[in-house]
């Protein structure tokens, strides 16, 4: 079943700058082969439920297995019959906003 998740996997207790640890997490996600997109606070991953959950687990455990305390915040959108939700949801909103702008002029 196609699933879109927004996940934040964050290390704690390792100092003030955590970019190297976060990069390890993102590397696992990007190498998964699943569609993904990272912004400053979350990473979206889209694909079959089991595949997405495996990537989330692998990405979180890359830190936890090194003894780093790891927090995970996850939101999932399971929508049977839909694919490419990561881009199509945003495209729909952009279309509505463009139509509203055209009507205002």
Tell me the CA distances in angstroms from 40 to 10, 27, 49, 78, one per residue in order: 12, 15, 24, 24
List the domains of the chain with CATH numbers.
Answer: 2-104 (3.30.70.930)
Give percent of the chain with pLDDT exceeding 90. Answer: 86
Name the band, by pLDDT with cuts 50, 70 and 90, for residue 16: confident
List, for residues 37-82, the tens digit of each pLDDT value: 999 999 999 999 999 999 999 999 999 999 999 999 999 999 999 9
Residues 79-99 pLDDT 10s: 999 999 999 999 999 999 999
CA distance 87 to 84: 6
Q: Is the pLDDT of residue 15 over 80?
A: no
């Amino acid at each position: 079943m196609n699933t879109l998740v927004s996940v934040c996997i964050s290390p704690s207790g390792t100092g003030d700058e955590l970019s190297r640890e976060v990069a390890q997490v993102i590397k696992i996600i990007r190498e998964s082969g699943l569609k993904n997109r990272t912004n400053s606070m979350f990473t979206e991953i889209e694909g079959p439920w089991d595949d997405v959950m495996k990537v989330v687990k692998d990405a979180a455990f890359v830190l936890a297995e090194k003894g780093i305390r790891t927090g995970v915040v996850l939101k999932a959108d399971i929508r049977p019959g839909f694919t490419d939700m990561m881009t199509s949801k945003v495209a729909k909103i952009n279309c509505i906003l463009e139509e509203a702008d055209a009507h205002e002029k």
